[in-house]
C-alpha cells in the first residue's frame, strides 16, 4: 500500500540536515585552507627572501602570487558544496548511526519515492531520532585542530614583512614604479622654485627682446660672468618668498592644507632649503616655451605668483635643462626634498629618477659646483 | 497518514524477526559451541533462501550443525553422502516401471530422490564426480528437477547445505566455478578455542544435542521471515557501494583495486552482487534495522565473495589465500570516500 511521506517528517529531517550541510561546507573550507597553508607559507617566505636579498619585486603581484594557494583553495571549496546526502553521511559517520539519517535523506530526496511501509518506518525513526542526534552533536564539540597553523601563519607573516621592506637591488621597472608612488608626496611645494624658474624665464625673454639678433653661443661668454651673480640673487629671492609664504600658512592654519604638510613642517623645509637651488614646476600650467636654448625640450610652467622683473639675467642652459627634466615628472602634486639633491653623491636621488633625469641632475650639480 | 498502528506493527514485526533470529542462534550455539559467527552466517543464508557451502576439517561438527538447524526450524532434512560412484539419479530420483498386481497396467513413475526435501545435506560434496555435482545445479538455481523431460518442483523453501574437506585432495573433484557460484555463502569452520572445547565436552560427551533439537520456529514462520527480509530498505547509496565492491574484484577493470590487479584472475559475478545485498538485508533486520547500512555489507562480504573469486596462478603458487586478498580489498573499499571506487 503506497503512502505519501508525511510533510512534517520531511521538514524535520530537512531542517536538521541543512545547518549541518552548511557546517560541513565550512569544515571543508577550513580543511582546504589548512591543506594549502604550508604552500602559502613557503611561497610567501620565498618571495619575501627573494625580494629582500636578490631582487626587488613589485609588492602587489608578489602578494597575489603568495596568496595564490589560498585563493585556489577558496575557489575550490566554494565550488565543492556538499549535497544533503553527503551531509547526512557525514553525520552518520560522526555519531556512528548505521546510516539511518542518510537512508532517510535518500528516501526523501532520492530518485525513487519512499512508499513502502518499511521506508515510512525508517523515515519516522529518523525524525524521532533527530532530537537525540542534536544532543549528541552538540555534546560532541570536538574541533579538529589544524596542525602547525600558527607556525605557518608566522612564516607567512615574516614573508610579507620581507616583502614590504625595500629590496636590495632595484631595476628600472621598480624605479618607474617608485616614481609613480613614492615621490608623489615629496615634490609639491616647488611652486616657489617654479616661480624661480619663471623669473629666470621672464628675464631671459626680456633679454632676448632686448637683443634679438644675438645667438646663444655668442652670448654665452658674455653672459657667463653675470650668471653666477644672477643665480645667487634669484635663489635669495626665492628663499625669502618661501619663508614668507610658509609663515603665512602657519599663521592661517597650523594644520595640513590641501593635503600638504603642515605649516611648521613647511617652514622647516624652507629653512632647510636656504642654501639650495629652487627647482620645481607648477603642474597645471604648461604653455609652450619658445626659448632659444637647444637643450630645452619641454615647456616650462608659469606660476600664478607675480614676480617683479628684476634686472636682466642670462639663464644658464643647464638650469633650463634641469627645469625641463623636471617637467617630465608626473603631474601629481609633489614635494621635492632638496637635501637629496645637494648631497652630490647621487645616492639619494638615484633611485627616484630615470637614468636620463639622473644625468640631468648630475650635470646641473656639476655645473653649479664648477661655478662656485 | 502514517497511522501509529501501522508503524507500531512494522516495529513489532522487526522486533519479532530479531527475537526469532536470536532464539535460533542461541539454540544452535548450544549444539555447535564456540562458532557463533558461523551460526549467524548460516542463519543469514537460510533466511536469504541461499545455499551454503561449509568447509572444515573432519570432526568440527558440520553435519551436526545442519541436523540441528533442520530440527530447530522443523523442516524435512535429507542427507547424501557423496562418493565417487554416486550417480545423479541417486540424488534427483529416477523413473521406474511400475506394474499393477495383475500385470495388466504398466506405467512409468518418477521415484523421487533424496533431493526432495526442504533441507538437503550434501556431505563431502567434492568426493563425487562432476557429473553428479552438476545434478545439483538445476535444483539449486531453479529449485526443480527435470527427469525425462518432466520438471518436478522441489519443496519450498529449499536449501542445500554442502560440506567439504579442504585437506584431503586425493580422490576428490573440486567443485567447478559454476557450481560454486550457486552457493550463497561459503563458511569456513575453524578449530574452536580451548574454552569452547571444554564446554563442548560438558554437553556432548555422552549425548548428541542435535538429536534432541526441537522446532522453535515453524516452516511457515521461516517463510514469513524470508518474506519480511525482502521489505528492508536498500538505498541507491548502498546498492552503488555493493556494486563498487563487486567491481573492485575485477582485475581487468581500470578502477579495480590494486590488490585485485595483482592476485585475482576472475572477479565476483552479478550473482555475487545479488547475494551480497540479500544477505546484507538479513543482517540489517537481525540487528533490528529496517534499512541496510554499509556495515552490513562489510559483515557479509567475505563469506559471500570468498568462493566467487579465482586467484591467478602466481598467487596460487605463493599460497595466498582468497580471504587475505578479499580482506585487503574490503578494507580498501571501506576507506574510499562514499565506499566507491571512481
Greatest mean pLDDT among A172-176, A250-254, B25-29, B141-145 lies in B25-29
User: Is A149 in the B-facing interface, judged by CB distances under 8 Å?
Assistant: no
Cβ-defined contact of A3 to B293 (cutoff 8 Å)? no
Distance from CA of B223 to the nearest CA of A (A): 18
Q: Which positions in chain B touch A116 (Cβ < 8 Å)?
A: 231, 233
> Is residue A255 scored above 50 in pLDDT?
no
Q: Kindly tell me the burial class for residue A38, based on how many C-beta atoms sit within 10 Å of its own C-beta (0-12, 13-18, 19 or more).
A: middle
Q: Which residue in A283, A276, A292 sits closest to A327, CA to CA?
A: A283
Residue A50 DSSP label: I
Joined together, the cell numbers standing for residue A34 give 589548512
Count of CA atoms in the C-beta half-sphere (13 A) of A348: 14
pLDDT tens profile B300-337: 999 999 999 999 888 888 888 899 999 999 998 988 87
Joined together, the cell numbers standing for residue B50 give 541461499
Out of A89, A112, A124, the one facing B7 most closely (by C-beta) is A124
Residue B61 Ramachandran class (φ > 0 left, ψ -120 to 50 alpha, else beta): left
Out of B1, B237, B295, the one facing A6 most closely (by C-beta) is B1
Out of A6, A86, A98, the one facing B289 most closely (by C-beta) is A98
Out of A103, A111, A112, the one facing B291 most closely (by C-beta) is A103
pLDDT tens profile B44-94: 999 999 999 999 888 888 888 898 999 999 888 999 999 999 998 889 888
User: Is B240 in the A-facing interface, judged by CB distances under 8 Å?
Assistant: no
Q: Cα separation of B329 and B309, whole Å? A: 12
**Residue burial A74-91, b: 16+ Cβ < 10 Å; e: rest:** eeebeeeebebbbbbbbb
- Give the contacts of A134 (CB within 8 A, at least 6 positions apart): A16
Mean pLDDT for the stretch of residues A253-272: 44
pLDDT tens profile A285-307: 444 444 444 444 444 454 444 44
Q: Cα separation of A2 and A8, whole Å? A: 18
pLDDT of the residue at A29: 83
> Is residue A313 scored above 80 in pLDDT?
no
Cβ-defined contact of A122 to B233 (cutoff 8 Å)? yes
**Coil, strand or helix at A6:** coil
Cβ-defined contact of B290 to A98 (cutoff 8 Å)? no
Pairing type for strands B183-189 and B51-56 reads parallel
Cβ-defined contact of B290 to A107 (cutoff 8 Å)? no
> What ipTM, to 2 d.p.?
0.83
User: Is A245 in the B-facing interface, judged by CB distances under 8 Å?
Assistant: no
Distance from CA of B22 to the nearest CA of A (A): 20
Cβ-defined contact of B233 to A107 (cutoff 8 Å)? yes
Q: Which residue has the cell 547526512?
A: A88
CB B27 within 8 A of CB B72: yes
User: Is B232 in the A-facing interface, judged by CB distances under 8 Å?
Assistant: yes
Of all residues in chain B, the one with the smallest CA distance to A106 is B235
Q: Which positions in chain B touch A86 (Cβ < 8 Å)?
A: 338
Length reported for chain B: 342
Joined together, the cell numbers standing for residue A318 give 643647464
B8 vs B254 pLDDT, higher one: B8
Q: Which residue in A271, A285, A255 sits closest to A338, CA to CA?
A: A271
- Give the contacts of A41 (CB within 8 A, at least 6 positions apart): A151, A152, A153, A155, A156, A159
Q: Which positions in chain B touch A106 (Cβ < 8 Å)?
A: 235-237
Of all residues in chain A, the one with the smallest CA distance to B284 is A98
Q: Which positions in chain B touch A107 (Cβ < 8 Å)?
A: 233, 235
Cβ-defined contact of A117 to B231 (cutoff 8 Å)? yes
Q: How many CB atoms lie within 10 A of CB B96?
A: 10
Amino acid at each position: 500500500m503506497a503512502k505519501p511521506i508525511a510533510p512534517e517528517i520531511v521538514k524535520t529531517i530537512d531542517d536538521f540536515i541543512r545547518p549541518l550541510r552548511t557546517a560541513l561546507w565550512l569544515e571543508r573550507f577550513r580543511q582546504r585552507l589548512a591543506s594549502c597553508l604550508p604552500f602559502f607559507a613557503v611561497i610567501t617566505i620565498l618571495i619575501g627572501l627573494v625580494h629582500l636579498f636578490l631582487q626587488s619585486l613589485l609588492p602587489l603581484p608578489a602578494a597575489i602570487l603568495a596568496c595564490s594557494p589560498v585563493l585556489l583553495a577558496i575557489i575550490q571549496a566554494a565550488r565543492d558544496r556538499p549535497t544533503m546526502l553527503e551531509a547526512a553521511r557525514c553525520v552518520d559517520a560522526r555519531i556512528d548511526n548505521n546510516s539511518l539519517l542518510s537512508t532517510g535523506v535518500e528516501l526523501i530526496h532520492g530518485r525513487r519515492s519512499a512508499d513502502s511501509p518499511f521506508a515510512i518506518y525508517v523515515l519516522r525513526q529518523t525524525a524521532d531520532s533527530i532530537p537525540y542526534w542534536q544532543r549528541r552533536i552538540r555534546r560532541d564539540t570536538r574541533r579538529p585542530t589544524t596542525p602547525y597553523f600558527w607556525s605557518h601563519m608566522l612564516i607567512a607573516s615574516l614573508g610579507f614583512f620581507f616583502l614590504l621592506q625595500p629590496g636590495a637591488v632595484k631595476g628600472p621597472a621598480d624605479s618607474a614604479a617608485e616614481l609613480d608612488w613614492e615621490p608623489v608626496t615629496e615634490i609639491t611645494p616647488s611652486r616657489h622654485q617654479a616661480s624661480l624658474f619663471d623669473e629666470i624665464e621672464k628675464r631671459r625673454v626680456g633679454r632676448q627682446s632686448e637683443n634679438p639678433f644675438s645667438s646663444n653661443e655668442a652670448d654665452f661668454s658674455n653672459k657667463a660672468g653675470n650668471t653666477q651673480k644672477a643665480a645667487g640673487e634669484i635663489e635669495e629671492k626665492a628663499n625669502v618668498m618661501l619663508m614668507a609664504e610658509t609663515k603665512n600658512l602657519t599663521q592661517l592654519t597650523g594644520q595640513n592644507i590641501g593635503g600638504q604638510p603642515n605649516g611648521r613642517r613647511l617652514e622647516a623645509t624652507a629653512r632647510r632649503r636656504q642654501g639650495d637651488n629652487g627647482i620645481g614646476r607648477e603642474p597645471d600650467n604648461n604653455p609652450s616655451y619658445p626659448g632659444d636654448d637647444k637643450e630645452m625640450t619641454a615647456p616650462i610652467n608659469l606660476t600664478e605668483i607675480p614676480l617683479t622683473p628684476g634686472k636682466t639675467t642670462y639663464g644658464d642652459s643647464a638650469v633650463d635643462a634641469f627645469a625641463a627634466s623636471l617637467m617630465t615628472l608626473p603631474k601629481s602634486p609633489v614635494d621635492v626634498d632638496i637635501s637629496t639633491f645637494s648631497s652630490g653623491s647621487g645616492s639619494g636621488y638615484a633611485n627616484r629618477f630615470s637614468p636620463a633625469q639622473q644625468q640631468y641632475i648630475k650635470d646641473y650639480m656639476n655645473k653649479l659646483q664648477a661655478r662656485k | 497518514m502514517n497511522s501509529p498502528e501501522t508503524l507500531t506493527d512494522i516495529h513489532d514485526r522487526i522486533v519479532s524477526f530479531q527475537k526469532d533470529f536470536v532464539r535460533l542462534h542461541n539454540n544452535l550455539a548450544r549444539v555447535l559451541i564456540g562458532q557463533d559467527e558461523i551460526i549467524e552466517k548460516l542463519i543469514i543464508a537460510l533466511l536469504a533462501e541461499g545455499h551454503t557451502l561449509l568447509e572444515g576439517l573432519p570432526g568440527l561438527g558440520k553435519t551436526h550443525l545442519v541436523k540441528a538447524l533442520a530440527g530447530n526450524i522443523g523442516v524435512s532434512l535429507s542427507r547424501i553422502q557423496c562418493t565417487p560412484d554416486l550417480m545423479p539419479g541417486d540424488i534427483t530420483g529416477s523413473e521406474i516401471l511400475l506394474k499393477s498386481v495383475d500385470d495388466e497396467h504398466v506405467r512409468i513413475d518418477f521415484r523421487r530422490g533424496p533431493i526432495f526435501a526442504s533441507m538437503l545435506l550434501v556431505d563431502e560434496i567434492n568426493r563425487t564426480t562432476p557429473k553428479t555435482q552438476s545434478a545439483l545445479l538445476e535444483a539449486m538455481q531453479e529449485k526443480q528437477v527435470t527427469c525425462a523431460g518432466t520438471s518436478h518442483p522441489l519443496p519450498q523453501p529449499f536449501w542445500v547445505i554442502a560440506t567439504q574437506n579442504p585437506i584431503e585432495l586425493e580422490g576428490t573433484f573440486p567443485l567447478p566455478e559454476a557450481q560454486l557460484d550457486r552457493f550463497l555463502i561459503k563458511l569456513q569452520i575453524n578449530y574452536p578455542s580451548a574454552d569452547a572445547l571444554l564446554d563442548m565436552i560438558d554437553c556432548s560427551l555422552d549425548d548428541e544435542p542435535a538429536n534432541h533439537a526441537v522446532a522453535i520456529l515453524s516452516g511457515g514462520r521461516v517463510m514469513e521471515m524470508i518474506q519480511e527480509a525482502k521489505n528492508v530498505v536498500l538505498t541507491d547509496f548502498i546498492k552503488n557501494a555493493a556494486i563498487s565492491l563487486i567491481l573492485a574484484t575485477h582485475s581487468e577493470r581500470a578502477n579495480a583495486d590494486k590488490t585485485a590487479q595483482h592476485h585475482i584472475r576472475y572477479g565476483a559475478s552479478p550473482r555475487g552482487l545479488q547475494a551480497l545485498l540479500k544477505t546484507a538485508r538479513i543482517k540489517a533486520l537481525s540487528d533490528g534495522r529496517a534499512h541496510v547500512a554499509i556495515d552490513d555489507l562489510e559483515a557479509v562480504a567475505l563469506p559471500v565473495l570468498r568462493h566467487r573469486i579465482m586467484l591467478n596462478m602466481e598467487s596460487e603458487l605463493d599460497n595466498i589465500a582468497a580471504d587475505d586478498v578479499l580482506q585487503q580489498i574490503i578494507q580498501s573499499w571501506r576507506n574510499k570516500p562514499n565506499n566507491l571506487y571512481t
